[in-house]
Amino acid sequence: MAVLLSWKAEHLLNLPEFDDQHIAIVEKLNSVHAAILSGKSRSTLVREWHALLELLREHFAAEERLMKRERCPSLERHKNEHDYLLRMAGRMPLTSAATSLVREWLLTHLKGSDTQMADELRSR
Ligand SMILES: [Fe+2]
Ligand SMILES: [Fe+2]
């Protein structure tokens, strides 16, 4: 079965803790996607989806903690993006539209705000 999002070296920030979290998020996203496509039971889908949201919440909190500690100038805008995704993802019916939303958001956020965060952290 085709994966929804293939992890690539270009997605690495070279911040190992966050890279590992991103990889775990992508793996979970792909497993939710596979569960939807293969018609898994509602309870399995909901369990997988909540596990994904939990990984996202923990990861966002970790980024925001470090950005706050290091006084990164882009923290507020960055946090707004995290909050937006959690709000949207919490509201969507559990179909492939929900996993596509997370996929598109992740790709944009990794390339934009997370990359900027890594640059700011390295310049501290
Ligand atoms: Fe982020
Ligand atoms: Fe991130």
Q: What is the pLDDT of residues 82-98, one digit of tens each?
A: 999 999 999 999 999 99
Model confidence pLDDT, tens digit, residues 48-78? 999 999 999 999 999 999 999 999 999 999 9
Q: Name the closest ligand to CA 22.
A: 2
13 C-alpha vs ligand 1 centroid, how far in Å? Answer: 11
Cβ atoms 2, 34 nearer than 8 A: no
Q: Which residues surround ligand 2, an ion (CB under 5 A)?
A: 114
The terminus-to-terminus CA distance of the chain in angstroms comes to 43
Give the list of residues 6+ apart from residue 27 with CB closer than 8 angstroms, or none: 7
For residue 50, the CA-to-ligand 1 centroid distance in Å is: 19
**Under a CB-based contact definition with an 8 Å cutoff, are residues 94 and 49 in contact?**
yes
**Homologous superfamily of the 15-122 domain (CATH):** Hemerythrin-like (1.20.120.50)
Domain ranges of the chain: 15-122
pTM over 0.85: yes
